[in-house]
């Protein structure tokens, strides 16, 4: 096969990788074509919010990328419909880098995040921002915070991670449409992965 064709096929394979939010429950069923848009294309708040711990919560997701960056922003607006409903001080989990595909969960302590308006009984929306090297992807979950709630100990939330976390400074992220978004492109790693795919075809 021609090198350019192999390179294009390798890029297409990488670009089709995504992530799926497992817990808390996302706004709607996963739609891979919409994930590069606000809340995976869901602009309306769900009528059935997830009761979520104000402290000691977790985010559980499934990653389809071998190396990725993620962070979490939060909005206290009752009906957030766009990035502008998330302000620049709404980082609930600072950006971090991760290696490994598959199930991954990480802690989120909304009470300790420093975001204004996060209290017992508050209705909020979190938006996970994820980048596997091919652009930002988004999923949202609409929550009602509870000081008495703990993470359910069932199969829905499995914190079994076999990966290593690297912290990424929030200052390395840029602001777009009122929301802080990850601007980190793991170009060296992605280029190496693409070349590895190409070489394997030769």
Strands 57-63 and 19-23 turn out to be antiparallel
Sign of CA pseudo-dihedral 182, 160, 49, 152 = negative
Please tell me the pTM assigned to this model.
Answer: 0.71
What does the alpha-carbon distance between residue 163 and residue 156 come to, in Å, rounded to a whole number? Answer: 20
Q: Residues of 13-42 as b/e, b for ≥16 C-beta within 10 angstroms?
A: ebeebbbbbbbbbbbeeeeeebbeebbbeb
The predicted model gives 162-174 an average pLDDT of: 38
Query: With contact defined as beta carbons under 8 Å apart, do 181 and 175 qualify?
Result: yes
Least confident span in 101-115, 132-146, 159-173, 187-201? 187-201
Query: With contact defined as beta carbons under 8 Å apart, do 107 and 23 qualify?
Result: no
Strand spans (E) along the chain: 19-23, 50-53, 57-63, 67-75, 91-99, 102-108, 123-131, 136-146, 165-167, 174-176, 179-181
Q: What is the pLDDT of residues 60-106, one digit of tens each?
A: 999 989 899 999 999 999 999 999 999 778 899 999 999 988 889 89
Q: What is the pLDDT of residues 117-128, one digit of tens each?
A: 999 999 999 999
What does the alpha-carbon distance between residue 121 and residue 191 come to, in Å, rounded to a whole number? Answer: 46
- Exposed/middle/buried for residue 62 (C-beta within 10 Å: 0-12, 13-18, 19+): middle
- 118 is written with which tokens? 């996060």
| pLDDT for position 126 | 97
């Amino acid at each position: 096969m021609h090198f350019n064709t192999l390179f294009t096929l390798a890029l297409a394979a990488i670009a089709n990788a995504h992530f799926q939010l497992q817990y808390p429950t996302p706004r709607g069923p996963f739609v891979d074509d919409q994930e590069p848009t606000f809340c995976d294309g869901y602009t309306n708040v769900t009528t059935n919010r997830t009761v979520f711990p104000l402290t000691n919560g977790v985010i559980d997701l499934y990653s389809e990328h071998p190396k990725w960056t993620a962070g979490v922003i939060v909005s206290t607006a009752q009906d957030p419909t766009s990035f502008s409903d998330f302000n620049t001080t709404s980082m609930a989990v600072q950006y971090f880098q991760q290696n490994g595909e598959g199930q991954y969960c990480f802690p989120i302590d909304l009470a300790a995040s420093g975001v204004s308006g996060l209290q017992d009984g508050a209705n909020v929306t979190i938006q996970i921002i994820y980048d596997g090297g091919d652009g930002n992807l988004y999923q949202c979950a609409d929550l009602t915070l509870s000081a008495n709630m703990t993470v359910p100990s069932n199969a829905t939330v499995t914190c079994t991670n076999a990966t290593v976390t690297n912290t990424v400074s929030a200052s390395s992220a840029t602001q777009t449409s009122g929301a802080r978004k990850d601007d980190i492109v793991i170009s060296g790693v992605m280029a190496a992965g693409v070349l590895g795919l190409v070489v394997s075809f030769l």
